[in-house]
Amino acid sequence: MLSIHDLHVSVGGTPILKGLTLELPAGQVHAVMGPNGAGKSTLSYALGGRPGYEVTAGSVTLDGQDLLAMDVDERAAAGLFLGFQYPVAIPGVSNLHFIRAALNAQRKARGEAELSAADLMRRAREKAKLVELPAELLKRAVNDGFSGGEKKRNEIFQMAMIEPRLAILDETDSGLDIDALRVVAGGVNALRGPDRAMLVITHYQRLLDHIVPDVVHVLVDGRIVESGDKDLALRLEREGYESARTEAQREVRA
Amino acid sequence: MSLLDTLASAPPRQGALAPLGVEAAATLQELGLPMKKTEAWRFTSVRELVSADLAPAPLELAPTAAPPSGHDVVSFRGGHARFVAPGATTLVLGRLGDGAGSEHLRVGAAFAALNSALFADGVVARVTGAHESPLFFDYEGIAGHAAYPRALVVLEANAELTLVERFRGQSSLTSAVLEVVLGPGAKLTHLRTHEDEGALLGAVDVRQARDSVYASHVFSFGGAPARLDLGVHLEGEGAECRLDGVYVAAGATHLDHHVRVDHRAPRSRSAMRYRGLARERATAIFDGQSHVHPGAVGCEAHQQNRNLLVDPTATVHTKPHLEIHVDEVVASHGATVGALDEDALFYARSRGLPESEARALLTYAFLKELVDAVDGQGGSALRAAMRDALLSQLPGGEALGALEEELS
Ligand SMILES: Nc1ncnc2c1ncn2[C@@H]1O[C@H](COP(=O)(O)OP(=O)(O)O)[C@@H](O)[C@H]1O
Ligand SMILES: [Mg+2]
């Protein structure tokens, strides 16, 4: 579904991603782990098309379409969803209003009919329950005055409303206590399915106890240095990222 | 006719209003009308206005139809007012020329003084107790004529009123003066919309007794120029004012807000929040002044002005200013001129909103926060009306309005 090949990304002229290759088939959940500053958020922003994240080489396709040639909103309409590490507050726009605007825009871009107000409300109530987002937060301004946990749950709520083909979740676990983590993971797991793929970016192994990945990739200094099954995450937890780094260097030398 | 000729040929006023006219004419003869070199008028040129015919529109231009019944409405046309007697006992409408309330009238400065010299008659509204429904002042500006509408609103102790002023039309020159006197514990919610596409110069002067509350919501969407001089005098202990303003300047529009609060009593509170945007070749000006005078201890004075500068051809001038002469004061001020938040823009776009829609949504959100702050009698209907008025000024506003419908 998602094919990233030899991706190079610079921010402000500084190379951050330095030849990243990753294959994510439909129906799978992959985790990307790595130390702070490795380029994990850069990867998600580059895939999302954030201004300032300059792709200098490489290719990315989503279902065979050239993702990098699309505008930010076209990527969303093509099925990409970004869960933000730091969700942004938008005072003055209610959560419901915002998600309705997003859904309508995506549907319009795909030539589909708008969702009726009644359908939207029904779906919103159902999905809010899924991530235990209090109903009154639907009427509040987007992420405005939300706690850290509420913001992350709101990201998963939006994902559940949008039902994207590909979700990239950037450190959705950071700042969550164990109960909130379980709720967020439950929301993510509910969306797993044969037609959907997810890239779960995390710094810690503990999220992967709840969202069990098919593949774990280790991202160090702008490259995937090692990939393996879920046990790789446990080893990283024990031994740290240094082991992956040195192992990768050994491979390069060999 | 020039200023001096106009003053000379104005019919002499009779009765209680006579001294005001004499004093105003003397002020104008001495000081003239402001020119660009006057600091307060630095950014708003009135040269063309002053050189045009300043004679008041004739009485024949007064409203021909009575205002609609069922609401308390005063209609002004060419500066001349028409109204019917209110049904409720909490509100009395009268003519300034009959002498009621004339002791409250002040000459004012610049164009307010011109109004004081030239208004033919004015309206006085007196409120006792809580008046249930809004009082509307509708002003229709007429091309080719100068107009000097004048009004006085007096709230007795503990009275409550929502006043809605609407300026529309295409004034050649309207110089409107409103004076407000709030008795102890009185509460006035005041909405004012500037949609007149002509030249509108307005002065609002508010005097507040102890524990009174004045909530002002100004919405400026039109005017070339539209100038507001809003002055609030916190004269009684514990008096409070909240002064919100929203402006959208586009095309040839020139919107100038001068807002001044004078704290003259202990524990009085003021908060100014003005937000707006300027696009195309329009100009927006905010000048905020808060003065805390000696003896006004324990006051709170806040000022905030935030501007979105949409196009490089648009202009924003902002000048927040605090002057404090006592020690125990909580005060803050700040002004920003900038573009939309890039993080929020990317966030909205990443959810599927095309860039133009994302910009429209964020712009609307930025201004709508101040629409949401409107309350008072009939608050929800007024908020809806203000929201629609705001949306009609914004690109993509109709689609934004539709998004908000029927969601509850
Ligand atoms: N907007 C930016 N401007 C400058 N440097 C940036 C920016 N975003 C990221 N970087 C740099 O890129 C590197 C990778 O950052 P990031 O992708 O946020 O890492 P991670 O998410 O893995 O912690 C870091 O060295 C960071 O300082
Ligand atoms: Mg990160």
User: What is the DSSP annotation of A13-53?
Assistant: TEEEEEEEEEEE-TT-EEEEE--TTSSHHHHHHHHHT-TTE
Condensed to tens digits (0 to 9), the pLDDT of residues A201-210 reads 988 888 888 8
Which DSSP symbol is given to B57? Answer: P
DSSP H or E run through A187? helix A178-190
pLDDT for A249 beyond 90: no
C-alpha angle B69-B72-B73 in degrees, rounded to nearest 5: 85
Please indicate whether, in this complex, the C-beta atoms of B351 and A102 are within 8 angstroms of each other: yes
User: Does residue B155 sit in helix, strand or coil?
Assistant: strand
Ligand 1 near A51 CB (within 6 A): no
Q: Which residues pair with B189 in a beta bridge?
A: B162, B215
Nearest CA in chain B to A71: B354
Residue owning the nearest CA to atom 5 of ligand 1: A11
Interval between CA A41 and ligand 2 midpoint (Å): 4
Distance of alpha carbon B221 from its chain centroid, rounded? Answer: 12
Whether residues B284 and B223 share a domain: the answer is yes
Whether residues B28 and B88 share a domain: the answer is yes
Residue A254's pLDDT is what?
A: 44
Cα–Cα distance, A74 to A79 (Å, whole number): 9
Residue A80's pLDDT is what?
A: 97
Residue B35's pLDDT is what?
A: 64
Amino acid at B138: D
What is the domain extent for residue B181?
Answer: 4-340
pLDDT for A172 beyond 50: yes
Distances (CA, A) of B243 to A44, B189, B217, B307: 43, 10, 6, 16
User: Does residue A110 sit in helix, strand or coil?
Assistant: coil
Ligand 1 near A37 CB (within 6 A): yes
Distance, in angstroms, between A108 CA and closest chain B CA? 10
Cα–Cα distance, B87 to B263 (Å, whole number): 37
- Label residues A12-45 b or e (16+ Cβ within 10 Å = b): eeeebbbebebebeeebbbbbbbbeebbbbbbbb
Condensed to tens digits (0 to 9), the pLDDT of residues A22-62 reads 999 999 999 999 988 999 999 999 999 999 999 999 999 99
User: Does residue B269 sit in helix, strand or coil?
Assistant: strand
Closest CA to B301 of B229, B370, B232, B245: B232
Whether residues B334 and B384 share a domain: the answer is no
Cα–Cα distance, A174 to A50 (Å, whole number): 22
Cα–Cα distance, B186 to B239 (Å, whole number): 10
DSSP H or E run through A183? helix A178-190
Whether A84 and A170 have beta carbons less than 8 Å apart is answered as yes
Of B296, B324, B340, the one marking the end of a domain is: B340
Residue A151 pLDDT class (50, 70, 90 cuts): very high
Residue A251's pLDDT is what?
A: 55
Give the ligand 1 atom nearest the CA of A35. 22
Which residues on chain B are in Cβ contact (under 8 Å) with A169?
none
C-alpha angle B239-A91-A93 in degrees, rounded to nearest 5: 120
Per the structure block, which two tokens stand in for B258? 């001068």
Whether B221 and B252 have beta carbons less than 8 Å apart is answered as no
Residue B222's pLDDT is what?
A: 92
Condensed to tens digits (0 to 9), the pLDDT of residues A84-129 reads 999 999 998 999 999 999 999 999 999 999 888 999 999 999 999 9
Tell me the average pLDDT of chain A: 91
Residue A247's pLDDT is what?
A: 60
Average pLDDT (A137-146) is 93
Which one of the ligands is nearest to A85 CA?
Answer: 2
Distance, in angstroms, between A70 CA and closest chain B CA? 12
What are the structural domain ranges in chain A? 2-253
Ligand 1 near A222 CB (within 6 A): no
ipTM: 0.94
Ligand 1 near A35 CB (within 6 A): no
Whether residues B280 and B388 share a domain: the answer is no
C-alpha angle B153-B157-B159 in degrees, rounded to nearest 5: 60
Burial of A99 (0-12, 13-18, 19+ CB in 10 A): buried
Of B340, B357, B378, the one marking the end of a domain is: B340
Q: β-strands A166-170, A197-202: how paired?
A: parallel
Please indicate whether, in this complex, the C-beta atoms of A105 and B361 are within 8 angstroms of each other: no
Which one of the ligands is nearest to A39 CA?
Answer: 1
Whether residues B356 and B278 share a domain: the answer is no
Cα–Cα distance, B254 to B224 (Å, whole number): 5
Cα–Cα distance, B400 to B403 (Å, whole number): 5
pLDDT for A243 beyond 80: no
Which residues on chain B are in Cβ contact (under 8 Å) with A105?
351-354, 357
Nearest CA in chain B to A85: B347
> CA gyration radius for chain B?
21
Interval between CA A9 and ligand 1 midpoint (Å): 11
Ligand 1 near A48 CB (within 6 A): no
Whether residues B384 and B307 share a domain: the answer is no
Backbone region of residue A48 per phi and psi (left: phi > 0; alpha: psi in -120 to 50; beta: other values): alpha
All residue ranges of chain B with pLDDT < 70 are: 35-36, 406-408
pLDDT for A173 beyond 90: no
Whether B301 and B329 have beta carbons less than 8 Å apart is answered as yes
Cα–Cα distance, B210 to B267 (Å, whole number): 10
Residue A245's pLDDT is what?
A: 66
Closest CA to A53 of A39, A66, A64: A39
CATH 3.90.550.10 fits A2-253, yes or no: no
Q: Which residues pair with B178 in a beta bridge?
A: B151, B204
Which one of the ligands is nearest to A37 CA?
Answer: 1
Whether residues B388 and B298 share a domain: the answer is no
Interface of A with B (CB under 8 A): 48-51, 71-73, 75-77, 82, 84, 87-94, 96-106, 109, 117, 120-121, 141, 158, 162
C-alpha angle B56-B57-B63 in degrees, rounded to nearest 5: 135
Whether residues B354 and B335 share a domain: the answer is no
Domains of chain B: total? 2
Per the structure block, which two tokens stand in for B170? 């295409």
pLDDT for A244 beyond 70: no
Whether residues B209 and B226 share a domain: the answer is yes
Whether residues B377 and B314 share a domain: the answer is no
Please indicate whether, in this complex, the C-beta atoms of B355 and A103 are within 8 angstroms of each other: no
Burial of A234 (0-12, 13-18, 19+ CB in 10 A): middle
Whether residues B100 and B193 share a domain: the answer is yes
Distance, in angstroms, between B262 CA and closest chain A CA? 31
Whether residues B384 and B319 share a domain: the answer is no
